[in-house]
Amino acid sequence: MGKDNFLDTNIIFHYSNYTDTASKIIEKCYFFVKNKSGRFILCWAVLKELEEITKKRARFHKAIIEKIKDTTYSIEDSPLISFRDIPFAKQIYEKYKNKSKEEIEKLFQIERNSSELKIKKFIQFSIDERGISLNQIDGELINKIHNIIPNHADCKILASALQLQKDRELFLFVTADGKDLDPNGYEFLKGQFEINYSKENWKFPELLNLVYTN
């Protein structure tokens, strides 16, 4: 039996989107879940973020369909798409722009239904423990992490992991975030905590970032 695994949101979301033609990172997340070793821990901040990502994808799909219906529709100015998702939205539009609106609507609906069902089953059958609830997350700890990591949702999840880790055997913090939680950034964060908050005795889980594994 391996170590316990505290799962980041992206692991579950990528797992739910796996197909035979999926990207390498989605494939890695899928097989990490499929070949489960050790217990899976999910905190309530991750459950909340999964809800948000699911809604965000529905809005994203709606914007692409609007663009297919009307080529003058601006992806850049769409209130349905966040600024950081604009390049990806353009890429998806280019891929599907020659298909009919009905065809794309059906395709997107199947994709969402499949993913949401996998997430639901995963939460129902694969989770061994639900960690820190939303109202238990230490606000001060979130702010301390936020001084280093800009993404507030990431900070909440990592704060939950640190609070849970405090009195336990070292577990794995499993993520597929290559931007805010890369190994160097994680070591830097740990170093800053050792410098600034050493008296608080925070113990960091061991990072397993699937972006950086073979």
Per the structure block, which two tokens stand in for 165?
């880790």
CB 46 within 8 A of CB 129: no
DSSP 19: -
**What is the CB neighbour count within 10 angstroms for residue 166?**
10
Closest CA to 60 of 85, 32, 97: 85
What's the confidence (pLDDT) of residue 214? 87
Domain chopping of the chain, boundaries = 5-63+127-212
With 0-12 / 13-18 / 19 or more C-beta atoms within 10 angstroms meaning exposed / middle / buried, residue 180 is: middle
Cα–Cα distance for residue pair 68/48, rounded to 1 Å: 31
Q: pLDDT tens, 54-76?
A: 999 999 999 999 999 999 999 99
CA angle 186, 187, 193 (to 5 degrees): 90
Q: Containing H/E element for 172?
A: strand 172-175
pTM of the predicted model as reported, rounded to 2 decimal places = 0.94
Backbone angles phi, psi at 41, to 5 degrees: -115, 135
Closest CA to 11 of 152, 193, 187, 178: 178
Cα–Cα distance for residue pair 103/121, rounded to 1 Å: 27
Q: pLDDT tens, 176-211?
A: 999 889 999 999 999 999 999 999 999 999 999 999
CB 178 within 8 A of CB 207: no
CB 175 within 8 A of CB 181: yes
CB 166 within 8 A of CB 136: no
CATH class of 5-63+127-212: alpha beta
C-alpha 33: how far from chain center: 14
Q: pLDDT tens, 5-18?
A: 999 999 999 999 99
| Long-range contacts formed by 190-196: CB under 8 A, 24+ apart | 192/147, 192/148, 193/144, 196/144
With 0-12 / 13-18 / 19 or more C-beta atoms within 10 angstroms meaning exposed / middle / buried, residue 62 is: middle
What's the whole-number mean pLDDT along residues 17-32?
97
CB 123 within 8 A of CB 42: yes
What's the whole-number mean pLDDT along residues 92-105?
95
